[in-house]
Amino acid sequence: MTSFFDLPFEEPTAAEASVGEPADPVDSPTAVPPEPQPRRILTVSELTARIRTLLEEQFFEVWVEGELSNCKVWTSGHMYFTLKDRGAQIKGVMFGSALRLLKFKPQDGLRVVARGRVSVYGPKGEYQIACEHLEPEGLGARQLAFEQLKERLAAAGLFDPQRKRPLPALPRKIGIVTSLDGAAVRDIIKVLGRRYANAHVVIRPTRVQGDGAAMDIMRAVRAIGRVRDVDVVIIGRGGGSIEDLWAFNEEVVARAIAGCPVPTISAVGHETDVTIADFVADLRAPTPSAAAEMVVSRKDDFCARIDRLSQQLSNTMSARLHRLEARLRMLEARSGYAGAHGRIAMRSRHAAELSHELHQAVHAQLARRERAYHALRLKLETFDLRRRLGTIRTRLVTADGQLGAAFTRSHHRHDARLRTAVARLESLSPLAVLGRGYAVCWNAERTQVIREASTVNPGDRVRVTLNRGELDCDVRGGSASADTSPPPEPAPR
Amino acid sequence: MDPTIKDFEAALTELDTIVKKLEDGDIPLEQSLQLFERGVQLSRFCHARLEEAEKRIEILNERGQLQDASSLLNESANIQSSKGKS
């Protein structure tokens, strides 16, 4: 807080520096304290009085920009606040009379430009800026006022979708709130006249711009809402500048529209102009002409719909009558009265039989059900036992499976060994030589291998084993010498 | 006016329902004839209501009185036609 007071004393300090040159006349009489007198002791009040003179004369009217904080409106109607930037802050006050003229509501965090004078409050040793005017920096005051009102009304629920009422299917009288001098009224009447010659229009003229326009519009909306048979109201005006349209951004207008007992259509300016009235009204039309078309096109729709329904009504009915007629003719052609009578008697007998059958069927069905029930009960009684049995069976099957698997594994092992052994054996077998073209000669009984020609006589029978198959041979002759035989093969390995 | 018909919107809704019922087609002949008659009555009512409003322009003044202002319509017609000429 003490740093608060550093700033204003800078200038007196500078003045003191010039005290060293007493001959030098002072440039700025207000900025310099009275002639320095050695050991002149001031009271706090005197010092404060001098500071007050200094500050209030120097900063009689200043513009200062900063951020608002600690805004608070007291019951007196004055607002107290702090204006600050990154390096410093200054306390401020704005009196009720000035505050009321603002178009926006000052609030914390807002960057503003303030116009005012610096004043000193002795009892507390504080200085502050007494603010005469405040405007939001950057954002225009109007824009801000718009946003704030919009926010406030939205919070009050005035824009809620469930508040929106549908337009009357067929308006008895169409109310219009606008200026008689503007283009809007003529546009609306033109559209209504062109599309529906029998439209009944009630116009409540009002000023739509300038001082007092908002109040005027408010009164007009209230008045027209009370006219008998007016069941929809168009509120609007033609295009213009934002300032021209401003009345439709005033709270009194918004409240009046919200309070209108019949559905409202806002039609202010052009498509791109958006006003608070648009948010509050039950329907927003981009232009006054469009508003008229909204009212009227519904009437078009209804005409078409009623025509269509009437058409459907008579089509359906006549189709049905045609069908009935055709059926009647067919019946007449097919059956005489007596025949029909006989058939009816037969049918009734048949019905009695059917009924009997049905009865029996139901009985049979019941009996079946009963048997099924008994069976079920029996099952239920043995259920526990069965379940235990089941468990045991499961365990048995599991064990069996494991055993089988073990057996299979060992079997496979043995099988593999066997196959290896056979393979080795086969490689050693003399019979393997047969594959290379050798043959083995046996006696007829196949009990002895014949190694010498002399052991057989012509006429004997021998068997010859080849690589594949055997031959049954008769011996025709032979010689004991081995000359004709091929050179002996090297012994198989 | 028919006391069994509340207003235009109610009539239209009822007419809608009747047409749907008849188109569904499983109602006895006697009843469907009754519905048909009612439907005709409703559609006549709706047509009448559509044509009933009269072409009129009134101005509601500050004192809450209604004044005829059909001249406004003519004026706008004139404006339109003069625009058309130019």
Helix axis angle for A288-334 and A183-195, nearest 10°, is: 20
Asked if A297 is an interface residue toward chain B (Cβ–Cβ < 8 A), one would say no
Name the pLDDT band for A20 (thresholds 50, 70, 90): very low
Is the Cβ–Cβ distance between B45 and B2 less than 8 Å?
yes
Find chain A residues with C-beta within 8 A of B46's C-beta: 302, 306
Whether pLDDT at A385 is above 60: no
Contact B15 A227 (CB under 8 A): no
- Give A41: exposed, middle or buried? Use CB within 10 Å, 0-12, 13-18, 19+: exposed
Q: How far apart are CA A322 and CA A26, in angstroms?
A: 119
Cα A438 to chain centroid, rounded = 92
A425-435 tens-digit pLDDT = 555 566 666 77
Find chain B residues with C-beta within 8 A of A202's C-beta: 57-60, 66
Q: How far apart are CA A11 and CA A17, in angstroms?
A: 10
Q: How far is CA A94 from CA A121, A124, A222, in A?
A: 15, 18, 36
Find chain B residues with C-beta within 8 A of A299's C-beta: 50
Report, as an integer, the average pLDDT of A10-17: 44
Nearest CA to B19 out of A78, A161, A314 is that of A314
Report, as an integer, the average pLDDT of A14-27: 46
- The reported pLDDT for the residue numbered A140 is 62
Q: How far is CA A71 from CA A51, A288, A328, in A?
A: 26, 42, 91
- The reported pLDDT for the residue numbered A455 is 83
**DSSP-assigned letters across all residues of A296-354:** HHHHHHHHHHHHHHHHHHHHHHHHHHHHHHHHHHHHHHH--HHHHHHHHHHHHHHHHHH
- Give A430: exposed, middle or buried? Use CB within 10 Å, 0-12, 13-18, 19+: exposed
Give the H/E segment covering residue A386: helix A383-428
Q: How far apart are CA B58 and CA B54, in angstroms?
A: 12
Q: How far apart are CA B43 and CA B47, in angstroms?
A: 6
Contact A189 B76 (CB under 8 A): yes
Contacts 24+ apart (CB under 8 A), A302-306: A302/A169, A302/A170, A302/B8, A302/B12, A302/B46, A302/B50, A303/B50, A305/B12, A306/B12, A306/B15, A306/B43, A306/B46, A306/B47, A306/B50
Is the Cβ–Cβ distance between A235 and A217 less than 8 Å?
yes
Q: How far apart are CA B1 and CA B11, in angstroms?
A: 13
- The reported pLDDT for the residue numbered A207 is 93
Contact A324 B29 (CB under 8 A): yes
Chain A nearest CA to B4, separation (Å): 18
B46-64 tens-digit pLDDT = 888 777 766 788 899 888 8
Report, as an integer, the average pLDDT of A39-61: 90
Q: How far apart are CA A88 and CA A67, in angstroms?
A: 11
State pTM to two decimals. Answer: 0.48
Chain A nearest CA to B86, separation (Å): 18
Buried residues in B49-72 as b, exposed as e (16+ CB within 10 A)? bbeebeebbbbbeeeeeeeebeeb
Name the pLDDT band for A5 (thresholds 50, 70, 90): very low
- The values of phi and psi at residue A200, to 5°, are -105, 115
Is the Cβ–Cβ distance between A418 and A445 less than 8 Å?
no
A492: DSSP letter: P
- Give A125: exposed, middle or buried? Use CB within 10 Å, 0-12, 13-18, 19+: middle
Nearest CA to A227 out of B60, B8, B49 is that of B60
Name the pLDDT band for A319 (thresholds 50, 70, 90): confident
Q: Which of residues A30 and A150 earns the better pLDDT score?
A: A150
Is the Cβ–Cβ distance between A93 and A131 less than 8 Å?
yes
Whether pLDDT at B36 is above 90: no
Report, as an integer, the average pLDDT of A147-167: 90
Report, as an integer, the average pLDDT of A326-333: 75
Whether pLDDT at A26 is above 60: no
Q: Three-state DSSP class for A81?
A: strand
Q: Which of residues A30 and A147 earns the better pLDDT score?
A: A147
Name the pLDDT band for A410 (thresholds 50, 70, 90): low
Report, as an integer, the average pLDDT of A213-224: 94
Chain B nearest CA to A276, separation (Å): 25
Q: How many CB atoms lie within 10 A of CB A284?
A: 20
- The reported pLDDT for the residue numbered A206 is 94
- The values of phi and psi at residue B58, to 5°, are -125, 155
Nearest CA to A103 out of A42, A66, A144, A65 is that of A144
Helix axis angle for A251-258 and A213-225, nearest 10°, is: 10
Name the pLDDT band for A405 (thresholds 50, 70, 90): low
Token pair for residue A195? Answer: 């599309």
Give the H/E segment covering residue B84: helix B70-85
- The reported pLDDT for the residue numbered A18 is 44
Is the Cβ–Cβ distance between A176 and A208 less than 8 Å?
no
Bridge partners for B43 per DSSP: none
A113-149 tens-digit pLDDT = 899 999 998 898 999 999 998 888 765 667 778 888 9
Of all residues in chain A, the percent with pLDDT exceeding 90 is: 27
Listed range (A71-85, A131-145, A231-245, A363-377) with the worst mean pLDDT: A363-377
Of all residues in chain A, the percent with pLDDT exceeding 70 is: 68
Name the pLDDT band for A277 (thresholds 50, 70, 90): very high
Report, as an integer, the average pLDDT of A326-339: 67
- The reported pLDDT for the residue numbered A401 is 65
Q: Three-state DSSP class for A447?
A: coil
Chain A nearest CA to B68, separation (Å): 9
Q: Which of residues A285 and A354 earns the better pLDDT score?
A: A285
A471-485 tens-digit pLDDT = 888 888 877 665 544
Highest mean pLDDT range out of A143-147, A225-229, A375-379, B71-75? A225-229
**Alpha-carbon torsion angle A351, A353, A354, A356, nearest 10:** 130
Token pair for residue A438? Answer: 């050798």
Is the Cβ–Cβ distance between A282 and A167 less than 8 Å?
yes
Asked if A183 is an interface residue toward chain B (Cβ–Cβ < 8 A), one would say no
Whether pLDDT at A239 is above 60: yes
